[in-house]
Amino acid sequence: MSDHTLVAMCPRFEAAFQLIGKKWNGLIIEALLERDLRFCELRDSINGISDRLLIDRLRDLIAAGVVVKTSVDADGHQLVTYQLTDKGQDLKQVFSSLHTWADQWVDPASQ
């Protein structure tokens, strides 16, 4: 008989990791940590993401309260930008720690 006991994951941690760990979400958040971006700026800052996928991921992040979409009238046309909410901005320290870890342990050439 084994003395190993399975460790149950905290439901909050699991839900957070599912949101942040979903493909492209982390890169979207990372880009928006730098500054508010328009859709095309956001798309151009993330290699390989399609318009359709970016739209889907932004919807997920908006629904989760991490990103907000704002629209401002500028010279007769709508200027839409995406920005992190306070909830999204609170990820800054998490992403900073991830950068530190990646700098030490991840070799992009081997990925």
Domain coordinates of the chain in residue numbers? 36-101
Cβ atoms 96, 107 nearer than 8 A: no
How does pLDDT run across 60-106, given as a tens digit for each residue? 999 999 999 999 888 888 999 999 999 999 999 999 999 999 999 99
Q: Which residues contact 88 (CB under 8 A, 6 or more apart)?
A: 29, 32, 33, 61, 65, 66, 67
* Spacing of C-alpha 82 from chain mean position: 12
pLDDT exceeding 90 applies to what percent of the chain? 82
* pLDDT value, residue 3: 62
**Model's pTM, two decimal places?**
0.88
What is residue 98's DSSP assignment? H
Q: What is the pLDDT of residue 6?
A: 74
CATH 1.10.10.10 fits 36-101, yes or no: yes
32: which 2 tokens?
A: 């928006």
pLDDT at 109 over 60: yes
> Quick one: pLDDT at residue 108?
86
> What is the pLDDT confidence band of residue 41, given thresholds at 50, 70 and 90?
very high
Each residue of 78-99: b (16+ CB within 10 Å) or e? eeebbebeeebeebeeeeeeee
